Amino acid sequence: MTMTAGITRSEESLEGIEWNILGQLYVPKHLTESSMSWHATFPVGTFVPPHIHPTQDEFLYILEGRFDFVLNGTEDHAEPGDLVRLPMGQPHGIFNKTDAAVKCLFWVSPARRLFDLFWALHNLGPTANPADVVAVSAKHEVDFLPPEEA
């Protein structure tokens, strides 16, 4: 996981990897022990339910579209050029409620087990059982919150 100087071109990914994470496309751009980044495309209607990274800070830089967020219980949104900061231990959910795909650059620090989690989720398939997603994620240091009661 030693970083070398260079440029990862827009059409490139780390080792040619592309993950389908529950209908979202994740393309890893770099991986070191101290951080990991990936380009993400969220089609219309896709989301990441509220969850916590107990051991990582997470960031999103919005490139195209609009995300709606739940950040520590508060609703907000982000648009192109916005940087979203998600401190470790604070619950957050990410939602594309628009009629167009959203594209952004994610990164986390430190990398911890997220790279392995994305492989595990990719291997579950795009229509994975939510209970399996929650269980696999917990083993990789991402804790999903129970659904809110109506």
Query: CATH number, domain at 122?
Result: 2.60.120.10
Q: Is the residue at 9 inside a domain?
A: no
Cα 106 to the center of its chain, rounded Å? 6
Q: Is the residue at 139 inside a domain?
A: yes
Task: Give the pLDDT of residue 3.
Answer: 85
Q: Is the residue at 92 inside a domain?
A: yes
Residue 35 main-chain phi, psi, to 5 deg: -165, 165
Q: Is the residue at 109 inside a domain?
A: yes
- Give the CA dihedral 10, 13, 19, 21, nearest 10 degrees: -50
In terms of residue numbers, what domain contains 26?
A: 14-144
Q: Is the residue at 80 inside a domain?
A: yes
Count the Cβ atoms, other than its own, within 10 Å of residue 8: 14
80 Cβ partners below 8 Å, 6+ apart?
A: 62, 63, 64, 65
pLDDT by residue for the chain (150 residues), tens digit each?
Answer: 788 899 999 989 999 999 999 899 999 999 999 999 999 999 999 999 999 999 999 999 999 999 999 998 899 999 999 999 999 999 999 999 999 999 999 999 999 999 999 999 999 988 888 899 999 999 999 999 987 665
Report the distance separating Cα 123 and Cα 72, nearest Å.
30
Report the distance separating Cα 33 and Cα 5, nearest Å.
16
What is the count of structural domains for the chain?
A: 1
Q: Is the residue at 6 inside a domain?
A: no
Q: Is the residue at 2 inside a domain?
A: no
C-alpha closest to that of 90 among 57, 48, 137, 134: 57
Q: Is the residue at 5 inside a domain?
A: no
